[in-house]
Structure 1
Amino acid sequence: MLLPHDPARAFMPYPAVAVPNAESGPLRGLSFAVKDLFDVAGYPTGAGSPQMLAMSGLKTRTAPTVQKLLDAGARFVGKTITDELAFSMSGKNAHFGTPLNGGAPDRIPGGSSSGSASAVSNGLCDFALGTDTGGSVRAPASHCGLFGIRPTHGRVSLENCHDLAPSFDTCGYFTRDGATFLRVGEVVLGADTEPLPERPRALLAKDAFALLDGAVREALLPAVRRVEKVLGQVTEVDAAAEGFTALYWAMRYIQGREAWAVDGPMIERLKPPLGPGVADRFAFAKEVTDRQVAEAQAIRGAFKERFAALLGRDGVLILPSMPDVAPLLTESDEALNDYRNRALNLQCLSVLSGLPQVSIPLSGRNGAPLGLSLLGPAGSDLSLVALAARVAEG
């Protein structure tokens, strides 16, 4: 860490190693942090696991996406804590602690990009890289009151980054304000292959909102009205015609199979003491069958085709980022797991379709932030970021 203090406990306590950046560029004057899944020359990559950290050694090559930011003039300040092996959504790491939620200090930050969201929400840097496999940027963005994006799958390089489930893994980022969100997106995302029109069709996922408690829907209503003010008339649609349960299990089975392929060999060989929840998810992953994966892939394929047709090239779907504000730090592991499962029903739309989704800090309740999401067609990422900034401006 290259900062003098870390009051949010967001950073891995690695010895400070300077990382050169360009003296000029579009991100000059901005500081950034990197989730400890990405390699940065001179630092280890721990992936939230003491065993992975012990085996890492100091990296000699910086991940291309990180290097792109350095070449654009941004200043690297450190590597942030991630949930263990990135297989969690709580932000609690049994080995390295729980970073502080800058938007609601008595609540979990959300994971697995917990440290990155914590660093930005506590003002320790201007933006931070995270990854989103099943919701790991969108969840902490909503919980901590930040802008966050899960890009079109494959749009941003994950070379020299520890995998979780490669066919779902994406590289996203967090900022506190819309202007910085767009400024960073122009570098990280590049130009759109399928830009949105000036006024896209606005679709509201009524079935997704129906999953929420009444008080949460009520809290999000003013945010929906702000989107409507920018985009015009909103048409209600069912986003998950297949039913959220089918999509939830399709995501779970595919993610589990891929996660076990990535980390299972290490877990079998070293038998590390995995933290609460993480151990259960890897135990589940180990038992996923070929038949379950085949059925899940068929559901994924049909959904992906139907969902892309629903949005077309000009549709933007409005949906909740999370089922509620972040749970309190004092919640039991069972309650956190139940909340995670509820969240995955919302998160699976972007994951299974591979389409980009942004979370915008537009709402809150009980003194805590609550995000609203916009989901767009493949390749519309930068347009979606620009739209998020416009909506936030009011």
Structure 2
Amino acid sequence: MLSLYGPHDPVHAFVPYPDAPVPRAPSGPLSGLSFAVKDLFDVAGYPTGGGNPIVLAMSGIKQHTAPTVQRLLDAGARFVGKTVTDELAFSMNGDNAHFGAPVNPAAPLRITGGSSSGSASAVAAGLCDFALGTDTGGSVRAPASHCGLVGLRPTHGRVSLQGALDLAPSFDTCGWFARDVQTFARVADVLLGREAEAPQRGVRLLWPEDLWALAEPAAAQALRPAAERVQALLGAAAPVEVALDSFDAMYWHFRHLQGREAWLTDGPLIERYAPPLGPGVAERFAWSRGVSDEQVRDAHAFRERFRHRLAELLGSDGVLLMPTMPDIAPLRAVGEAGLEDYRNRAIRLLCVAGLSGFAQLSMPLARREGAPLGLSLLGPAGSDRRLIALAERLAD
């Protein structure tokens, strides 16, 4: 296993826990591959810190391994360590006030994105072959785009989060990162099953014009050649509009639901122990505490309407071709206010999968100013394996 910060972890991706043996099957479909685990998942022999000193102090050494992690071990994958997460998973910046900021190996002057920052950093740096993360509001998709990785936010509930710390359970998902589609698909065979959700029928590619308009013009231009390659392989994308009511409405309803659930999850700990929370995280929890019952009722009703509308738009074979993020990763030096502005713009893109609960796969198909930029495929509920099969076709 990788040890503490130093020559074995030059990008500060790993939480510096003492080594503990984590047995794995001697052979299996993931034999020969190494993996890391975001420090929200239980691994027997280790604490689960959630990026917060109070949670870490209360954790104790876990006696059981989260089922999803165990499936990977049973498939022969080798565990190499637990990775840094943004505090309590309530950030997309990739910086933790207590454990530091993992380096983005693909663009060292820029943020990794979070909250699965350490997992993305470890994979991008070649310190492991793949890594588990979680995605509530974008915590796999943002780092995947920023660090030049393949990353999936699966259909909600598709991959077990038993034995993992919650943030907002009706949005929380378990995803993973890899540097290439072939490795990513091997992991998918274990976590999603090999029963092809994608029969040999065609794909109805859709071009969400309103989502593309959310990207910075220079980012949209940089993504165009990759989008044209996708269309050359899968067919021309028909123009559609995705937003329901407005993107502002989508943004606020998503935030109200996420905020209420985040406060229900972590509010009792915050009120009892008053832990020192990092910049941005403290403000988000304070805001979440004030979300009203009326706002939550309206947001629940909106989510049902949006999910129904997007399901009708996609049908069984529709796939949105869209930017993963509004732009390349911001520079580390941009400051908290600039990062918060970027986060709020990003949520307008990311909340499509969040509100619907549908699958979204980000692929590292473009660059701008030397930094990676992800292009996404978003499909209906249960289309996870189909999206990965499409990415395999693109890679071939």
- In structure 1, the residue matched to 2:72 is 69
Shift of 1:304: 0.3
What whole-Å deviation, never above 9, does each CA across 1:88-109 have from its counterpart, x for those lacking one? 0000001000001111111000
Paired AA for residue 317 in structure 2: D
- 2: distance between equivalents of 1:47 and 1:192? 33
- 1: distance between equivalents of 2:389 and 2:62? 35
2:185 to 182, 185, 200: 182
TM-score, normalising length from structure 1?
A: 0.98
TM-score, normalising length from structure 2?
A: 0.97
2:282 to 279, 282, 299: 279
**Residue 330 of structure 1: SS of its match in structure 2?**
helix
- 2: distance between equivalents of 1:212 and 1:75? 38
Measured at CA, do residues 165 and 303 of structure 1 come closer, stay the same or move farther in structure 2, by a change above 3 Å? same
- 2: distance between equivalents of 1:391 and 1:344? 27
- In structure 1, the residue matched to 2:103 is 100
- In structure 2, the residue matched to 1:116 is 119
- 1: distance between equivalents of 2:200 and 2:224? 25
- In structure 1, the residue matched to 2:323 is 320
- In structure 2, the residue matched to 1:221 is 224
Contact 1:242 1:303 in 2 (8 A): no
Shift of 1:389: 2.4
Residues paired across the two proteins, number? 393
**Which 10-residue stretch deviates more, 260-269 or 237-246?**
237-246
Paired AA for residue 55 in structure 2: M
What whole-Å deviation, never above 9, does each CA across 1:44-95 have from its counterpart, x for those lacking one? 0000001100000000000000000000000000000000000000000010
Measured at CA, do residues 132 and 77 of structure 1 come closer, stay the same or move farther in structure 2, by a change above 3 Å? same
- 1: distance between equivalents of 2:197 and 2:26? 32
Listed as ranges, the gaps of 5+ residues in structure 2 are none
Paired AA for residue 310 in structure 2: F
Contact 1:192 1:383 in 2 (8 A): no
- In structure 1, the residue matched to 2:259 is 256
What whole-Å deviation, never above 9, does each CA across 1:205-240 have from its counterpart, x for those lacking one? 110111122211110101111110121121010011
Paired AA for residue 226 in structure 2: A
- 2: distance between equivalents of 1:164 and 1:390? 35
Measured at CA, do residues 365 and 250 of structure 1 come closer, stay the same or move farther in structure 2, by a change above 3 Å? same
Contact 2:37 2:81 in 1 (8 A): yes
Are residue 341 (structure 1) and residue 325 (structure 2) matched? no
Contact 2:23 2:73 in 1 (8 A): yes
Are residue 30 (structure 1) and residue 43 (structure 2) matched? no
- 1: distance between equivalents of 2:209 and 2:117? 29
Contact 1:11 1:81 in 2 (8 A): yes
What whole-Å deviation, never above 9, does each CA across 1:240-287 have from its counterpart, x for those lacking one? 132211111111000000000000000000101100000010001000
- In structure 2, the residue matched to 1:362 is 365
Shift of 1:191: 4.1
Paired AA for residue 232 in structure 1: G
Measured at CA, do residues 153 and 196 of structure 1 come closer, stay the same or move farther in structure 2, by a change above 3 Å? farther
Contact 2:41 2:163 in 1 (8 A): yes
Shift of 1:190: 1.6
2:61 to 39, 58, 70: 58
Are residue 80 (structure 1) and residue 83 (structure 2) matched? yes
**Residue 254 of structure 1: SS of its match in structure 2?**
helix
Contact 2:198 2:389 in 1 (8 A): no
- 1: distance between equivalents of 2:377 and 2:195? 16
- 2: distance between equivalents of 1:387 and 1:375? 11
Are residue 135 (structure 1) and residue 138 (structure 2) matched? yes
Listed as ranges, the gaps of 5+ residues in structure 1 are none
- In structure 2, the residue matched to 1:353 is 356
Are residue 89 (structure 1) and residue 112 (structure 2) matched? no
Contact 1:149 1:357 in 2 (8 A): yes
Shift of 1:392: 3.3
- In structure 2, the residue matched to 1:10 is 13
What whole-Å deviation, never above 9, does each CA across 1:105-146 have from its counterpart, x for those lacking one? 110000000000000000000000000000000000000000
2:213 to 191, 210, 215: 210
**Residue 259 of structure 2: SS of its match in structure 1?**
helix
- 1: distance between equivalents of 2:199 and 2:291? 39
Measured at CA, do residues 290 and 197 of structure 1 come closer, stay the same or move farther in structure 2, by a change above 3 Å? farther
Contact 1:149 1:174 in 2 (8 A): yes
1:230 to 226, 230, 233: 233
- 2: distance between equivalents of 1:307 and 1:91? 30
Contact 2:154 2:174 in 1 (8 A): yes
Shift of 1:197: 4.3
Measured at CA, do residues 371 and 292 of structure 1 come closer, stay the same or move farther in structure 2, by a change above 3 Å? same
- 2: distance between equivalents of 1:196 and 1:55? 47
Measured at CA, do residues 295 and 262 of structure 1 come closer, stay the same or move farther in structure 2, by a change above 3 Å? same
Are residue 288 (structure 1) and residue 288 (structure 2) matched? no
Contact 2:206 2:319 in 1 (8 A): yes
Q: Give identity over the alignment, percent.
A: 65
- In structure 2, the residue matched to 1:152 is 155
**Residue 131 of structure 1: SS of its match in structure 2?**
strand
- 1: distance between equivalents of 2:248 and 2:199? 30
Shift of 1:155: 0.5
CA RMSD of aligned residues (A): 1.1
Paired AA for residue 179 in structure 2: R
